[in-house]
A and B are shown apart, each in its own frame.
Chain A
């Protein structure tokens, strides 16, 4: 991951068309909050950053016909099982699309999960809606469309 995502974690592995049970995410990147680097960066990271395994899941809501709350809950459950499988402490779920975005905005805003941050990206209007948690707020800070 390039850009401001680097400030969240050192994402060093990416998957495309990543499948967890029946759900296929468009992309999945994972990494660690403890950054790698040269001596000073390593020391800084070792002293200040937690050693958490983290990941970002990307899902296009346009790939599902009439994406609704039920789909969102299923995605969150899948992300959680993916987190367990990959021993991740935090995860972000980035939903993006052009249709049905307004329909699920309020559901996304209502999610208050401490371990999964959700951000919904409307590609047409470039509007970003995030879940009501620390990770959700963080996700919005670093997203750029």
Chain B
């Protein structure tokens, strides 16, 4: 019952690449270029944009969205992008539920009390939500004994 999960979230990676690509495309669109020049440099600019979009998109994804989830029998840590790492002990929680978001993604919700909870985004971590819920329930129960 230990593990490190850090899968690539393709949707967020794609979103990051598109953000960078669209920004570059907007810059090129409003750049004052001599008449006829765009025809000649269109393909090189497109290739260059794509290379930059993939490189910067990857960096943006790693900085903003990439998640690393580590857990063992005692507790877990979740890090999103370059944000602060959240670390908790299983024993801090009393109830476990499975949440489905309006986008169809699943999270395992850990309750300290009725209004104080922490969501583990299991769909984003590419874990099986149904199996992982039972695993977490067991870990929480064992830690509370």
Contacts and interface: CB of A to CB of B under 8 A. Distances in A.
B102 A13 contact: no
Contacts of B97: 13-15
Nearest to A1: B100
Interface string B99-125: 111100000010000100000000000
Interface of A: 12-18, 36-37, 85
A36 B95 contact: no
Given A14-B97, A15-B95, A15-B97, A36 B133 contact: no
B98 interface: yes
Contacts of B101: 12
Contacts, number: 23
Categorize the interface residue count of chain B.
10 to 19
A17 B114 CA distance: 17
Ordered nearest first, which 4 A-B pairs have the shortest CB separation? A36-B102, A15-B97, A12-B100, A14-B98
A16 B95 contact: no
Contacts of A13: 97-100, 109
B102 A16 contact: no
A16 B135 CA distance: 12
B137 A17 contact: yes
Nearest to A14: B98
B132 interface: no
Nearest to A86: B114
Nearest to B134: A16
A30 B95 CA distance: 14
A3 to B, nearest CB: 14
A95 to B, nearest CB: 22
Residue of A16, A36, A85 most packed against chain B (CB within 10 A): A16
Interface string B13-41: 00000000000000000000000000000
B62 to A, nearest CB: 31
B60 interface: no
Contact of A37 (B99, B102, B133): B102
Contacts of B100: 12-13
